[in-house]
Amino acid sequence: MKATVHVMLKNGVLDPQGEAIRASLGTLGFESALGVRQGKIIELDLADGTTEDEVTKMCEALLANTVIESYRIEMGA
Amino acid sequence: MKATVHVMLKNGVLDPQGEAIRASLGTLGFESALGVRQGKIIELDLADGTTEDEVTKMCEALLANTVIESYRIEMGA
Question: Which domain covers residue B63, as residue numbers?
Answer: 2-75
Candidates A25, A40, A50; nearest CB to B62: A25
Please state the domain count of chain B: 1
pLDDT per residue of chain B (77 residues) written in tens, 0 to 9: 999 999 999 999 999 999 999 999 999 999 999 999 999 999 999 999 999 999 999 999 999 999 999 999 999 85
**What pLDDT is recorded for position B77?**
58
Q: B24 CB near a chain A CB, below 8 Å?
A: yes
CATH number at residue A36: 3.30.1280.10
pLDDT for B76: 87
Counting other chains too, the contacts that B57-66 makes at CB distance below 8 Å and 24 or more residues apart are B57/A30, B58/A25, B58/A28, B58/A30, B58/A33, B58/B5, B59/B5, B59/B7, B61/A28, B61/A30, B62/A21, B62/A24, B62/A25, B62/A28, B63/A21, B63/B5, B63/B7, B64/B5, B64/B7
Chains A, B: CB contacts within 8 A come to 99
> Model ipTM?
0.88
